[in-house]
Structure 1
Amino acid sequence: MNADLNAKSMVPVTILTGFLGAGKTTLLKRILTEYHGKRIAVIENEFGPESIDNDLLVQDLDEEIVELNNGCVCCTVRGDLMRTLNNLRERRQAGELNFERVIIETTGMANPGPVCQTFFMDDDIADYYRLDAVVTIVDAKHGMTTLDQQEEAQKQVGFADRLLISKKDLVNEADYQTLRHRLIKINPRATITPVNFGETDLQSILDVSGFNLNAILDVDPDFLESDHPDAADDHSHDHAHAHAHEHDGDCSPACGHHEHHHKAHSDDIGAFVFRSNRPFDPERLEDFLSGIVQVFGPDLMRYKGILYLKGINRRMLFQGVHMLMSAEPGKAWLAKDKKGSKMVFIGRHLPQEIFTQGLENCLV
């Protein structure tokens, strides 16, 4: 109970990332200028011609934090993110600033992993802020090309709790479904929503609780199921897409998908799920997971699951980012429950057979 109360008093943080030109700045300008009734501190780390602080907010380049007339705060990162977060914390505790939540914008080329790790590595930050979710914006028109050419874009998709697809009106339905299917293959646990940034519901990207194990499993207990509605929908869409383009010769520019129609996409980032109805031996599992994290940690984006452990009458919930892993007890198993473990691993070139064989060796 105390842990729940403590979590509610912490400042929730959303990490906003996405492809270059996908619309992060458009969304942030709306947050920072609209009277939406929410007091938000935006930490802005996008340097360049489209940066908010260059053309909208900061007149005094020596000032890092600017208060806005809609109750928000804009903060530009000119140094270390930990220092910036602690500065905001100190000024809020002193009553100098008033905000209810934080949104961190990463650069379009950034890997969100190190930003996520900030909230696990610094005690002052971990005690004061609660990492809520990673939200990634994908450009529908250039998304396939960006995923082909930039591994960082694949990492942004792999870390996401929410995927927002912008510019859907610039592509046909078949191409949109092809992109959506690819995103699901990279990250089957993220919710996918097409968005128009003039009408984005802020509530859909706030209070996601993507890093709160109990919360996400309560909201979507089947998020690891292979027959998740998203996966089922996209199987049929992919099938339809293949038949929609049966014509002789190459696609022409007018066809709309000449850039990627004939090309197989082999993404560096991918996901797989492990399931078993047999219980794990707790000690063997802990040893195996510790070893896996040591060896493959840099390539592990996100991993999460529900564990059925021998001798423990509760679900054990676990998750991790890179080499940082945590576990906590979940709900008790009831007599009517079908006990079992479900685990999802998202990462770069992960050897599924090694993971699967190792996990099977940990079963009782």
Structure 2
Amino acid sequence: MAESIADTLIPVTIVTGFLGAGKTTLLNRILKEDHHHRIAVIENEYGEAGIDDDLLVHSEAEQIVSMNNGCICCTIRGDLSRILTKLRIQREKGESKFDWVVIETTGLADPGPVAQTFFMDDVVAAFFRLDGVVTVVDAMNGDATLDQQPEAQAQVGFADRILVSKTDLVDEEKAKALEERLRAMNPHADMRRVNMGDCPVDVVIDIQGFNISDVLNVAPDFLTGAHKHHHSDEISSFLYESDRPFDPQRFEHYFMSLLSVYGQDLLRYKGILYLQGADREIVLQGVHMTAGTQAFGPWEGSPKSRIVFIGRNLPKEALIKGLDACLC
């Protein structure tokens, strides 16, 4: 079978989570495990002097690059592009050997701009693909952190997979309540309880969170009934569905306007579009103000639009009315 373009790109995983959630312990575990992957780790700390690099295990199979001159979510995005390009060139010359990249963000980072790098930076997008965003949540302090830190809520909203750590330090009732809250914030993310010191690499890499196949299975949890939600979290999600087609021009105009107004608060959105005149599924996927569409295969069954929105304080009813106005 011919190799696709996606198969030739270097996969990248973003690992995020608030301060103390267990990201460094997780990476140490991955670096020590005999998993036959060669992983380059890019880790970022906020401040001039880093210490996480001293805590990480070093071996010949992995390369660790530290970025300490700012938060990876803002000014350092250009540095991320340059470091990825440098690693790629070293790899092509045989000076560095790796088949996967893991980016650990600072605990204070919104991972959205990091994810955008893989769509907005043409040099990066030509050689790397984003496999997924993994968010670590501390079961012991998770509720308080989500109550007090908007960055922690954004990290949950962006997640393709949520790893709940330190469940051994809380009772089952508290652990289940936190998981229920996380599912209400981001129903599409896979969730697992993990012991960071005994965590296999396959819970972090190759989760295919940004693959078309993942988009085609839009938010299956929405179909099993509503989640209970007793917290006033800024991050929430909703599913838009319609069996009427969108007028392509009206939809494009409205969606571009939507992104210009709410783009910073739209953490993730993905789904299938039923467009008038199109004889196949159209995949929509985006992060913040960066959106893209791609034609997929012919419809199986009745055509239907299904789009998941995950964001901060989204005006759900207004967005639904706007989308409805684009229908034929």
TM-score, normalized by length of structure 1? 0.82
State how far apart, in whole Å, the 2-side matches of 1:306 and 1:285 are.
13
Deviation at 1:269, TM superposition (A): 1.2
State how far apart, in whole Å, the 2-side matches of 1:194 and 1:339 are.
37
Mapping 1:117-156, distance limit 5 Å: 117-156=116-155
The alignment partner of 1:43 has SS state of strand
State how far apart, in whole Å, the 2-side matches of 1:199 and 1:33 are.
10
1:362–1:181 distance in 2 versus 1, CA, 3 Å: same
* Structure 2 residue ranges without an equivalent (≥5): 70-78
User: Which residue, 213, 216, 223 being the options, matches 1:215?
Assistant: 213
What residue is the counterpart of 1:345 in the other structure? 309
The alignment partner of 2:198 has SS state of coil
1:76 corresponds to which letter in structure 2? S
What residue is the counterpart of 2:54 in the other structure? 54
Runs of 4+ in 1 over 4 A off after TM superposition: 47-50
Deviation at 1:204, TM superposition (A): 2.5
1:352–1:34 distance in 2 versus 1, CA, 3 Å: same
State how far apart, in whole Å, the 1-side matches of 2:280 and 2:126 are.
26
Mapping 1:222-233, distance limit 5 Å: 223-224=219-220, 226-228=222-224
What residue is the counterpart of 2:280 in the other structure? 314
Deviation at 1:43, TM superposition (A): 0.4
* 1:205-225 deviation per Cα after TM superposition (whole angstroms, max 9, x unaligned): 21122112x22146xx25255
Mapping 1:170-319, distance limit 5 Å: 170-212=169-211, 214-217=212-215, 221=217, 223-224=219-220, 226-228=222-224, 265-319=231-285
1:357 corresponds to which letter in structure 2? K
State how far apart, in whole Å, the 1-side matches of 2:259 and 2:89 are.
34
Deviation at 1:308, TM superposition (A): 1.1
* 1:307-335 deviation per Cα after TM superposition (whole angstroms, max 9, x unaligned): 1111111111101111100000122014x
1:161–1:56 distance in 2 versus 1, CA, 3 Å: closer
Deviation at 1:202, TM superposition (A): 1.3
* 1:77-119 deviation per Cα after TM superposition (whole angstroms, max 9, x unaligned): 2452111111111111111000001000001111101111111
What residue is the counterpart of 2:293 in the other structure? 327
2:213 corresponds to which letter in structure 1? A
State how far apart, in whole Å, the 1-side matches of 2:80 and 2:5 are.
23
**How many positions carry a matched residue from both structures?**
318
User: Which residue, 64, 85, 101 being the options, matches 1:74?
Assistant: 64
The answer (yes or no) to whether the contact 2:274–2:282 under 8 Å persists in 1 is yes
The answer (yes or no) to whether the contact 1:224–1:344 under 8 Å persists in 2 is no
Deviation at 1:226, TM superposition (A): 2.1
The answer (yes or no) to whether the contact 1:314–1:329 under 8 Å persists in 2 is yes
The answer (yes or no) to whether the contact 1:25–1:50 under 8 Å persists in 2 is no
State how far apart, in whole Å, the 2-side matches of 1:193 and 1:14 are.
17
Larger Rg belongs to: 1
TM-score, normalized by length of structure 2? 0.91
State how far apart, in whole Å, the 2-side matches of 1:163 and 1:115 are.
18
* Structure 1 residue ranges without an equivalent (≥5): 58-66, 239-263
* Percent identity between the two aligned chains: 49
The answer (yes or no) to whether the contact 1:29–1:52 under 8 Å persists in 2 is no
The alignment partner of 1:26 has SS state of helix
1:94–1:44 distance in 2 versus 1, CA, 3 Å: same
The answer (yes or no) to whether the contact 1:15–1:106 under 8 Å persists in 2 is yes
